[in-house]
Amino acid sequence: MEKAGDSVNRVVRAGLVPSMMEIMDATCLWASSDYLATELVGSGDQALLLRPSDEGGQAAEGELSLMEQLFHQAGAVYTQPPRTWRKATCCCAPGGSR
């Protein structure tokens, strides 16, 4: 969770203000995975951070790219780029245990 929180902090310090950022902690990830009978993220992940861009087109691509860089600087081990500017990406940090 700490790395996901650091990611949010870095986004705000960079001057980006997305309308929302959603964090799921390890307990929520495991419960959701069990309920859906699927693996949402890699085993041992501590947090999932979803964030869309409120921009459109190239502005969104630039904003999402910057956020992805900031997530990696905060220690993200996995990010998934969006297929379109409307979709969110995720950041997962290691450290959870089931």
* Tens digits of residue pLDDT in 65-92: 888 899 889 888 777 766 554 545 555 5
Q: Among candidates 58, 66, 49, which has minimal Cα distance to 84?
A: 58
| Residue 51, SS3 per DSSP | strand
Which two tokens mark 33? 């995975």
pLDDT: which is higher, 42 or 24? 24
Q: What is the pLDDT of residue 94?
A: 47
How many Å from the N-terminal Cα to the C-terminal Cα in the chain? 15
Instruction: Supply the pTM of this predicted model.
Output: 0.71
